[in-house]
Amino acid sequence: MKELKSFYYALRGIGHGVRHERHMQFHLLATVVVVCAGLWLGISRMEWCLVVLCIGSVISAELVNTAIERLTDLASPTRHPLAGQAKDVAAGAVLIISIAAAIVGGVVFIPYLI
C-alpha cells in the first residue's frame, strides 16, 4: 500500500508540473511533435530508445528544476544571491539537457528528412 501512495504522490507531482509550469508544457508539446515525427518517419528501435531517453531526461530535469525553485522560494522568501544562484544552476541543467536532446534529435531525424 505504501508503494501505491508513492506512485500517487509522484503522479501528483508530475500533474502539478504539467498544469503550472509553462516550460513543462512546452516540453510536452515538443514531445508530441517528436513522437509524431518518429512514427511518420519510421525511425528505428535504437533511435526510439535514444528519443525516449532524451524525452525522459528533459522532462525529469524540468521537474527537478521546479522542485528546486519551490524549495528555494520556501527557504528564502526574500531575494538572496544564493537562492538566485540555486535557481539559475537548476535552470542551466535543464538548458544543457535540452540542447543535448535537440542535438540527438537532429542526428536521428535529419537523415530521414534529407
The residue written with cell numbers 513522437 in the block is 35
Q: Is 47 a catalytic residue?
A: no
CA distance 56 to 31: 10
CA distance 9 to 57: 20
> Any idea what the Cα angle at residue 38 is, between residues 52 and 59, rounded to 5°?
30
Catalytic residue (choose from 3, 21, 62, 69) = 62
Residues designated catalytic: 62
